[in-house]
Chain A
Amino acid sequence: MATLAEPIRPGAGRPNVASANIQLPGVESYEQVDREIAGTLAPTKGWFALLGISILFFLWGAGAWVYQIYWGLGNAGYNPPVMWGVYIITFVFWIGIGHAGTLISAILYLFRAGFRTTIYRCAEAMTVFAVMTAGLFPIIHIGRPWKFFWLVPYPNWRLVWPNFKSPLIWDVFAISTYLTVSATFLYVGLIPDIAVLRDRETNPLRKRLLAVLSLGWRNSEPEWRHFARMYLFLAAFSTPLVLSVHSVVSFDFAMALAPGWHTTIFPPYFVAGAIFSGIGMVFTIIIPIRKFFRLQHIVTINHLDAAAKLALATSLIVGCAYLIEFWVAWYSANEFEQAYFWNRVFGQWWWAAWIMLSCNMIFPLSLFSQRLRRNPTWLFILSILINLGMWFERFVIIVPSLSHEFEPWQWSGYVPSWVDISILAGSFGWFFMWFLLFIKNLPVIAIAEVKEIVPPRLRTHAPVADIDVTGHHVDYSPETPGERE
């Protein structure tokens, strides 16, 4: 017979400060969690409008692509030797976006950072759709998209195989792996929540569909046991994976000789940038969601604050990388590098470079102020700036390098064409189309995990906080320290 301790009166004693950051004062019971999160799924006019717009953008981009396939890449803005342009820029941009999701859901999980709990599902979905978007661009940008399957190693009567020394083949492997693993990660995380929805659902058709999706999950203890274990291992796999993916993407550049590309700093630099941009996108997405779905008491300001600190940290890393690049160029005494970097900031491409530097290095410094960190409006504005800045970071890496290479005779400029811009816009349409469909059909906040940080009902009354610093609840036995005065 478990005997329960002297109850702790609400308000009495100081709650654990660290845990205070992530606990949800506004949430009393499991019922409330189910009710409120499931409640977000009801479609609204605004949602339909947004979805419509996204689909229009997507169709526009798709049309542009068809046009380009028929009439040739010449209709894009390429200006040799600038052989890569908006498409590769946007590819790297979207891949980068993806990284925050995995970081939040996997790495922070391993680090037991509790504030991830309420935002990770959203971030994870973002990852999957971002990678889905990014994955299109290598196909869009090649001259003969209909031959793309040649990059996939499969037995064929030509007896020819891909070149496994090519960074593009590494890309194929890294990105397909990344897409598969993050999609799996998202889905298995969803299973218990789908089960919740299944059992709340009244419409038989939807119920059956959800039943299939939930794979007959029933919240039994053995299921949870294996689930937790699997989740741990997936997280353990995703962590090196996410680091490897953007390193591989950075190899696309580092493996070529072009000045400004051929440098060893790229992998860490790219990974940090990716996470930075991803968190930017998370803000762009989560802030409107918590506002319009009225989830401020679940996705609390504390969570945003914590995420903002992460953004600040990555921003500092990225900024440092920028500065080191210039230092390396100077220190190497390699005149190609020096000429290129001079041209980057003070020459032809100064404007792009300064957009990048201000958006990624200067503005984020504002996050040192707690007031701004806790101001969702500012975070939202900043997040837009970060997205812009990170797109231009890739622009600055790709275009100026190619336009100002070894051969002065071949120096050139670059102006995107309407096709580039249409497909860029289309990619946003495509991404938000999927995301919007997601948030109205599946819980955008992880029900089961939120329940973890909600105190369970007890025969006696609940304690104020049963959550420790890690965001995981502490055992509920009298011996547990920190629970009483």
Chain B
Amino acid sequence: MSRRRSWALASGFFAIAVAALGLSAYSGASSSQGIDVVQPVNFPHPRHVQQLGMNCLYCHFSANRSPDPGLPAVGTCMGCHTIIQGRRPAIQGVADRDTAAINQLLSFAKGTPDQWKPIPWVRVHKLPEYVHFPHMRHVNAGVTCQTCHGPVPEMQRVYQYASLNMGWCVNCHVKGYKLADGLLAAGDTAGARAATNVEPQKARYDCAVCHY
């Protein structure tokens, strides 16, 4: 009867293997969803966006004009951080402070602009090179950044929010983008309520729209 057990075991393994294959194939197992990386400058999105209310386009300045969202030049940072230094003495009862992140920034931006060093940011959201993702088309169509990038304003360290799998893209292209959902993701509840009846905005799902 030991043989009976081994038979049962064998077939069991087989079944499990098949199931696993199917699952991994269907869930975007190959995606790097969720990865987060240590950046050369530990830029706190919450501080800048939530507390200071900066707009995404202030730094990612070409997201609405180019396929490439654009990254802030060191100059852009130094626009404020020549004044807002890492070290701040205690004034009017507010305790003094020394912000590591700002110091990191300043270590790149020592002296006059021609002495500055570029900041080697590490890419978080990476599409394969054979996919063309024109940011401006999406941004201008009213797709909120949070729809794909997730709650970046709340991320102390940015991580890949969506799977960025082909199926994930295609679903939105075919079913259409619901403005209300986008606004909700962006935290604009009022707008979302207003936009509940807006028709979902579809996009072409021909392969050559993205692959060429």
- The interface of chain A, by Cβ under 8 A from chain B, is 154-160, 212
Nearest neighbor of B28 in chain A, beta-carbon distance: A157
**A155 touching B3, Cβ below 8 Å:** no
- The interface of chain B, by Cβ under 8 A from chain A, is 3, 21-22, 25-28, 163, 165-168, 170-171
Q: How many A-B residue pairs have CB under 8 A?
A: 27
Contacts of A156 in B (CB 8 A): 25-26, 167
Shortest Cβ distance from residue B183 to the other chain A in the assembled complex, whole angstroms: 27
**A158 touching B167, Cβ below 8 Å:** yes
Measured between alpha carbons, how far is A154 from B28 in the docked complex, in Å? 14
**B166 touching A155, Cβ below 8 Å:** no
Identify which of B21, B27, B163, B166 contacts A159 (C-beta below 8 A). B166
Contacts of A157 in B (CB 8 A): 25-28, 163, 165-168
Shortest Cβ distance from residue A212 to the other chain B in the assembled complex, whole angstroms: 7
Contacts of B170 in A (CB 8 A): 159
For the residues of A in contact with B, the DSSP-based class is loop
Contacts of B3 in A (CB 8 A): 212
With contacts A154-B21, A157-B167 known, what are 16 further pairs, Cβ within 8 A?
Answer: A154-B25, A155-B22, A156-B167, A157-B25, A157-B28, A157-B163, A157-B165, A157-B166, A157-B168, A158-B166, A159-B166, A159-B167, A159-B170, A159-B171, A160-B166, A212-B3
Shortest Cβ distance from residue B28 to the other chain A in the assembled complex, whole angstroms: 4
Interchain residue pairs A-B with the least CB separation, the first 5: A157-B167, A157-B28, A158-B166, A157-B165, A156-B25
Could you give 15 example pairs across A and B, Cβ below 8 Å? A154-B22, A155-B22, A155-B26, A156-B25, A156-B26, A157-B25, A157-B27, A157-B28, A157-B168, A158-B165, A158-B166, A159-B167, A159-B171, A160-B166, A212-B3
Nearest neighbor of A159 in chain B, beta-carbon distance: B167
Shortest Cβ distance from residue A215 to the other chain B in the assembled complex, whole angstroms: 10
Nearest neighbor of A154 in chain B, beta-carbon distance: B25
Measured between alpha carbons, how far is A426 from B25 in the docked complex, in Å? 33
Measured between alpha carbons, how far is A212 from B4 in the docked complex, in Å? 11
Measured between alpha carbons, how far is A158 from B22 in the docked complex, in Å? 13
Shortest Cβ distance from residue A205 to the other chain B in the assembled complex, whole angstroms: 14
Shortest Cβ distance from residue A265 to the other chain B in the assembled complex, whole angstroms: 37
Shortest Cβ distance from residue A5 to the other chain B in the assembled complex, whole angstroms: 48
Shortest Cβ distance from residue A293 to the other chain B in the assembled complex, whole angstroms: 33
Contacts of B28 in A (CB 8 A): 157
Shortest Cβ distance from residue A210 to the other chain B in the assembled complex, whole angstroms: 13
Shortest Cβ distance from residue A176 to the other chain B in the assembled complex, whole angstroms: 15
